[in-house]
Structure 1
């Protein structure tokens, strides 16, 4: 079942043809699909060293190409400042036979996604992730501010979406209590400091683990400048209460920022729950876990 009405099926033979046409030096490398519960890209492994990312909703609109270029630029910018690996861009593919949109190539990173491990209860992992977040938030924005579209703006800009998703999810979670918590989040003062670089999509599937430690943070498509509270989402979408306390302590988060972070966890999870409940059970399960953690926090 497709997750999106305009989703395309990306086939390995189509990918092999695009690679052969556009990057002849890689022509002989085998193409293998990579299983993923991601919602934005179809993933393929090219040989042993290359990961290919094909948007599930391709477009010839210049904005999609600009977004992929921006993602690669952000990857290069971030890599020099953070303590773990981030994706290394290798190439940008163009539309071709069988696929009507741009696509991208990155260096393959070995690791297991956090949702397939037990790191959610690990204080060491919480410290690792906090170290990445501190470094990212400490990068110079050159005066940049929220772009008015991405995550990281005032919570009230998402109020309509959250209330619509709550109305659609009455049979899936305790929407009455969640609505009260969401109202409390909306009443929280906005952040008063300068906007920061934020990852904005720290979902378990975007955190790679090796030997129980954070090895890489991937999927930089949502990176932007905005409210750093957005990057508190792992406290609820991954961590147990004990690890959540470590994460908060390591980041030195005040009460208002923590409450806005909880609001962003609600934004992401309540929208995903109803949208993916039938088409992406793993994403729906993560959304349920997130909302359960929010509810348990009161």
Structure 2
């Protein structure tokens, strides 16, 4: 999916896991198919998962991620993976990697889950619980989404140039112009920072677990609202809005972050990860159809 992407298969992953965590030697190591774009993930036995970054990462980076994951698991009202350790690579796989507890469940689907009022209620409870964690003087780290919307103008221009024929780039450009300047809607809060379907586990219509909490930290209070457009059609999206009771600016900024993220998916993963590209298209459609957010200022 990415230029220079690191490669690791079940055999190599098994060797590295056995070397770094001898207690796991002999357990089956099974690659997980899915829409992940940052890590290759392997289930290890019944109770663990190994995450091998697709781009080289340092042990220090993954230890920082593990600390955030621990804090997230304590704050999350639903089950979340907990860190088990960080492993070293070698000349065959030149990166650190991490081991976490395994969390069962089905990944949320942006189409099958779209009309679920129960899921909307669960998402509202999750977001409010994370916001209740004190920021404690911490500030947004400046990485990725969660800061100033207009800082992403150049990226959006590039995405628009790559997306002709995939989405209605004229309407997307108009929507972004309307949303990019929506003012900040309050102080930063603690945020998962990537509440996409791939990181949400469900059983039927209920949310049962949350993955990938290693970026838990302060960000724009609107950022976690991306799940409203990534996952929900109009009626349950309104229910989520009622549960959180955001200001109009806060809600519209959530749509802006969802649109920014989705536009990076529709073209970049069109060939290499069709599931992610489909998510991008469905999110763009929901934002453009939402007259409460996509209108001109």
TM-score by length of 2: 0.94
User: Closer, same or farther in 2 for the Cα pair 1:33/1:81, shift >3 Å?
Assistant: same
Query: Secondary structure at the residue paired with 1:215?
Result: strand
**Residues 130-151 of structure 1, C-alpha deviations (whole Å, 9 max, x = no match):** 1111111110111112122232
Q: Aligned to 2:149, which of 150, 155, 158?
A: 155
CA distance in 1, matches of 2:280, 2:236: 18
The answer to whether the Cα contact below 8 Å between 1:121 and 1:243 also exists between their aligned partners in 2 is yes
Note closer, same or farther for the CA distance 1:210–1:117 as it changes in structure 2 (3 Å cut): farther
Q: 1:129 Cα shift?
A: 1.1
Deviations 1:11-55 (A, max 9, x none): 111111111211111112111111111101101011111111000
Post-superposition Cα deviations, 1:188-210, rounded to whole Å, max 9, x if no partner, equal 1122x221111111111110012
Check conservation: 2:72, 2:214, Cα contact below 8 A: no
TM-score (norm 1): 0.94
What residue number does 1:119 align with?
Answer: 113
Once residues 277 and 171 of structure 2 are traced to their aligned partners in structure 1, the CA distance between those partners, rounded to angstroms, is 19
Q: Give the Å deviation of 1:103.
A: 0.5
Q: Secondary structure at the match of 1:5?
A: coil
| Structure 1 residues 155-200: Cα deviation after superposition (integer angstroms, max 9, x where no partner) | 0111111111112112211111111111111221122x22111111
Alpha carbons of structure 1 residues 67 and 195: separation in structure 2 relative to 1, 3 Å: same
How far apart, in 1, do the equivalents of 2:60 and 2:148 lie? 25
Q: State the shift of 1:223 in Å.
A: 2.7
2:221 to 204, 222, 228: 228
Aligned equivalents of 1:127 and 1:29: distance in 2?
38
Paired residue total: 291
Runs of 4+ in 1 over 4 A off after TM superposition: none
Aligned to 1:253: 246
Give the one of 170, 183, 192 matched to 2:164.
Answer: 170
3-state SS of 1:7 partner: coil
The answer to whether the 8 A contact 1:18-1:97 is kept is no
SS at match of 2:268: helix
- Alpha-carbon spacing, 1:277–1:210, altered in 2? closer, same or farther (3 Å): same
The Cα RMSD (Å) is 1.4
Is the aligned partner of 1:263 residue 2:261?
no
2:85 to 78, 87, 91: 91
Q: Which runs of 5+ in 2 are unaligned?
A: 292-297
Match of 1:23 in 2: 21
Could you list the runs of 5+ residues in structure 1 that have no partner in the other structure? none
Distance (Å, rounded) in 2 between the aligned partners of 1:12 and 1:209: 27
Residues of 2 paired with 1:212 and 1:67: CA distance?
35
Give the corresponding residue for 2:134: 140
1:114: Cα distance to partner? 0.3
Indicate if the aligned counterparts of 1:150 and 1:222 stay in contact, CA closer than 8 A.
no
Task: Please name the residue that 1:187 is paired with.
Answer: 181
Are 1:53 and 2:51 matched, yes or no?
Answer: yes
